[in-house]
Amino acid sequence: MPMPAARTPLADLDPAIALGALDGRYRGAVAPLVNHLSEAALNRARLHVEVEWLIHLTTQGVVPGADELSTGEQDALRALVLDFDAAAIAELRDIEAETVHDVKAIEYYLRRRLVDIVGADRAVSLGELVHFACTSEDINNTSYALMVQGAVTEVWLPKARALVDQLSGMARDLAEVPLLAHTHGQPATPTTMGKELAVLAWRLTRQLDRVAGTAYLGKLNGATGTYGAHVEAVPSADWQQVSRSFVEHLGLTWNPLTTQIESHDWQAELYADLARFNRILHNLATDMWTYISMGYFAQVRGQGTVGSSTMPHKVNPIRFENAEANLEVSNALLDVLASTLVTSRLQRDLTDSSMQRNIGTAFGHSLLALDNVSRGLAGLDAVPEAMAKDLDANWEVLAEPIQSVMRALAARGVEGMTNPYERLKELTRGRRIGQVELVEFVRGLGLPAEEEERLVALTPAGYTGIAASLVAHLDR
């Protein structure tokens, strides 16, 4: 067997080639998350927490006799976070190569910048308040809380709400378009397309409300959550109040009882809600795929797209299929995050550190699915004629209202209305009937004239109850 020719090592090319799809093929759809959930975003968040802790200690007079920062110096420190760029990222990478500790690298980076801001002499004493009495997890837990909060409120939630608004708009537009329902895959009581889409929009909205109500917890209480170093260093300070005011200053909810780590329960709760939203969205994707296959929707926009490489007539529902796959990947990650982050051996183990680095990937696949479903919905036109054709081919679905009218009459004591279910079963079970057969059957039931005429006039398309009006529940 001939030896293969040496191939160019793709890993050595510049610019670097992405290993994963999110940073490669799908970068455009998920790029906004880089600002919140990337490694660089984590370091920026850490720097933000360290800067704010230094400012908090000095402005609140927590350490008696410590130097104070002027307003201009505080602004200069905060500018380090606002102006965090490629040069800062590279410098931090170099520092971490020496410290082999990511949070310590942030501390050293800030100490360097402090010299530039307050001068070498003052930086000696003020530098000792950088990372004062903190364990790495004091910085990390608040950083992750801020990062996830930003990703949810600024990126994921707006995209999800926009999609649900889009779906709700379709539901309103199609509120009165009758649709043959299919329970267990079999023809069933008619509904309207709008009502069915409204059900999914309603379900998704409930999950969005839960996500929007998330409490993002944070703690700053030292190596085992006891404020041990804090109390020994400054016994006079009310360290619980200092901690609480700082965490709340960051825009987080204070957690008063922890081990070395913040317990991550809030993350597990959030990821469960996100996963539930994803699963409902997956249900929407499979339903829309099915409706397209039944001809109830036409994929008529974007005619330049190639549906099949060999069959010119095809336009494949790829947006919904892509969404299904990405929702499944997202949920696999969200589920493992939720199940593992709530456990830590005794006062601390490091599994959460590696696990949390996958948060961005979990969000990324969900965001990509949102983008695909939105684009998929935007490329659809309803085909009421196809829905009407299926309704007209299934007159047997009217067996339900007929037997229900007969039951109501029997309950009122009207003669000849007994065993309505069995009589309709004999007429319809295992056979197809049309309007002629159904009208003939109704005429022979001996119904009161008013009920007889109402049932004779009923059609499958007209048997939708109050489905159209139920869509109004979306306007709450």
Catalytic positions, please?
Answer: 184, 308
Query: What are the DSSP calls for 120-144, one per residue?
Result: HHHHHHHHTTTTTT--HHHHHHHHH
Helix 39-59, helix 136-150: angle, nearest 10: 120
> CA angle at residue 445 from 441 to 449, to 5 degrees?
110
Residue 189: φ, ψ to 5°? -45, 125
Contact 376, 288 (CB under 8 A): yes
Is the Cβ–Cβ distance between 305 and 315 less than 8 Å? yes
Rounded Cα distance between 152 and 111, Å, is 32
Per-residue b or e along 304-331, where b marks 16 or more CB atoms closer than 10 Å to that residue's CB: eeeeeeeeeeebebebbebbbebbebbb
Q: Tokens 């500018």 belong to which residue? A: 79
Q: How many CA atoms lie within 13 A of 460 on its CB side?
A: 23
Neighbour-count burial for 37-76, b at 16+ CB within 10 Å, e otherwise: bbebbbbbbbbbbbbbbbbbbbeeebbeebeebeeebbeb
Which single residue is written with the structure tokens 């700082």?
Answer: 246
